[in-house]
Amino acid sequence: MKSTANLAAFFCPGRKFLLMTKLTGLLIFGSFLQVSAGAFAQDKIKELHAENTSVKEVFKLIENSSNYRFFYNENFTDLNKTVTIDVKDKKINDILKLLINSTNVTYRVLENNLVVITPINTAQVKVTGYVTDAVTKEPLPGVTVAVEGTTIGAVTDATGKYTITAPSESSVLVFSFIGYTPQKLVVGSRQEINVKLDGDTKKLEEVVVMGYTTTTTKNLTGAAQAVSGAKLKDVTAGSMDKMLQGKVSGVFVGNSSGDPAAAPAIRIRGNGTLTAGNSPLVVVDGIIGGLPNPSDIESVTILKDAAATTLYGARAANGVMVITTKRGKAGKTQVNFRTNVGTAHLNTGHFHLMNGTELYDLQTAAGAKLDPSLRNINTNWQKLAFQNASNQNYELSTSGGNEKTKFYLGGNYYKEDGILKGTGVERFSARLNLDHNITDKFRVTFNVAGTQTSDKDNSNGSLYQYYTNLPWDKAYNAQGKPVNPLTADNWYGRDMTNFLYDQQYNYTKNKRQSLEALVKLEYDITKWLTFSTTNRAQYYHFNQESNGDVRTSAGSDDRGNLYNYYQDTSSYISSNLLRARYTINKKHNLDGLVGAEFQQTHLNDINAKGKGIIQGVSVLDGTSAPMSIGGSKVDRAFNSYFVQANYNYAYKYYFTSSFRRDGSSKFGANQQYGNFYAFGASWAISEENFIKQIKAITNLKLRASYGTTGNAEIGDYSAIGAYAINTQYNGFPAAYQSIYNVPNLSWEKAYNTNIGIDLGLFNRINLTLELYQKDNKDLLFNVPLPGTAGYSYISQNIGSVRNKGIEINLSTDNLVGAFKWSTDFNIGFNKNKVTELYGGKDQIIDPISGYFVLRQGQDMRSFYMRKWAGVDPSNGDPLWEKLITDADGKVTGKTTTNNYNDASLQIVGTATPKFFGGMRNTFSYKNFQLSAFLAFVSGNQVYNNTRELMDNDGAYYTYNMMELDNGWSRWQKPGDNATHPLFKIKGNKNSHKPSSRFLEDGSYLRLRNVNLSYTLPKAWLDRVHIGNARISIGGDNLWTLTKFSGLDPEVDDRGINSIKYPSSTKWFAGLEINF
The 10s digit of each residue's pLDDT in 553-597 is 888 889 999 999 999 999 999 999 999 999 998 889 999 999 999
Alpha carbons 309 and 211: distance in angstroms, whole number: 9
Compute the Cα dihedral for 94, 100, 101, 105 and give only its sign. Answer: negative
Q: Does the structure show a pLDDT above 50 at 29? A: no
Q: What 3-state DSSP class applies to 39?
A: helix
- DSSP H or E stretch at residue 18: helix 16-21
The 10s digit of each residue's pLDDT in 379-436 is 999 999 999 999 999 999 999 988 789 999 999 999 999 999 989 999 999 999 999 9
Asked whether the beta carbons of 575 and 593 are under 8 A apart, the reply is no
What integer pLDDT is reported at residue 1058 of this predicted model?
86
What integer pLDDT is reported at residue 8 of this predicted model?
36
Asked whether the beta carbons of 534 and 516 are under 8 A apart, the reply is no
Encoded amino acid at 598, one letter: F
The 10s digit of each residue's pLDDT in 863-885 is 999 999 999 999 999 999 999 99
Of the candidates 1064, 1062, 951, the one whose C-alpha atom is nearest the C-alpha of residue 1000 is 951
CA distances from 435 to 180, 291, 448, 529, 578 (A): 20, 21, 12, 20, 20
368 φ, ψ to 5°? -70, 140
Length of the chain: 1075
What integer pLDDT is reported at residue 787 of this predicted model?
63
Percent of residues, the chain, with pLDDT higher than 90: 49
Alpha carbons 493 and 471: distance in angstroms, whole number: 9
The 10s digit of each residue's pLDDT in 422-479 is 899 999 999 999 999 999 899 999 999 999 999 988 777 788 888 899 999 999 998 9
Model confidence at 767, in pLDDT bands (50, 70, 90)?
very high
Percent of residues, the chain, with pLDDT higher than 70: 92
What integer pLDDT is reported at residue 27 of this predicted model?
39
- Burial letters 507-545, b for 16+ CB under 10 A, else e: bbebebbbebebebbbebeeeeebebebbbebebebebb
The 10s digit of each residue's pLDDT in 158-182 is 788 999 988 888 788 999 886 688 8
The 10s digit of each residue's pLDDT in 1034-1043 is 999 999 999 9
Over residues 200-221, the mean pLDDT reads 71
The 10s digit of each residue's pLDDT in 212-254 is 888 877 788 888 888 888 888 777 777 777 788 888 888 888 8
Q: Does the structure show a pLDDT above 80 at 938? A: yes
Rg (CA), the chain: 37
* Bridge partners, residue 922, by sequence: 822, 931
Alpha carbons 735 and 716: distance in angstroms, whole number: 19
In this structure, which CATH number among 1.10.357.10, 2.60.40.1120, 3.40.50.20, 3.90.1580.10 belongs to the domain 125-199? 2.60.40.1120
Half-sphere CA count of 116, side-chain side, radius 13 A? 19
Q: Does the structure show a pLDDT above 50 at 30? A: no
Residue 823, C-beta contacts closer than 8 angstroms, at least 6 positions apart = 810, 811, 812, 814, 919, 920, 921, 922
The 10s digit of each residue's pLDDT in 945-974 is 999 999 999 999 999 999 998 889 999 999
- Burial letters 865-886, b for 16+ CB under 10 A, else e: bbbbbbbbeeebbbbbbbeeee
Is 975 or 728 the better-scoring residue by pLDDT?
975
Fold annotation for 5-119: Phage tail protein beta-alpha-beta fold (3.55.50)
Mean pLDDT estimate for the chain:
86
Q: Strand 1064-1074 to strand 915-925: parallel, antiparallel, or no bridges (unpaired)?
A: unpaired
Q: Does the structure show a pLDDT above 60 at 146? A: yes
Model confidence at 715, in pLDDT bands (50, 70, 90)?
confident
Alpha carbons 942 and 432: distance in angstroms, whole number: 44
What integer pLDDT is reported at residue 486 of this predicted model?
87
The whole-model pTM stands at: 0.79
What integer pLDDT is reported at residue 206 of this predicted model?
66
- Burial letters 574-602, b for 16+ CB under 10 A, else e: ebebebbbebeeeeebebbbebebbbebe
Domains of the chain, residue spans: 5-119, 125-199, 507-636
Alpha carbons 853 and 278: distance in angstroms, whole number: 18
The 10s digit of each residue's pLDDT in 778-820 is 887 777 666 666 666 777 777 899 999 999 999 999 998 889 9
Q: Does the structure show a pLDDT above 80 at 18? A: no
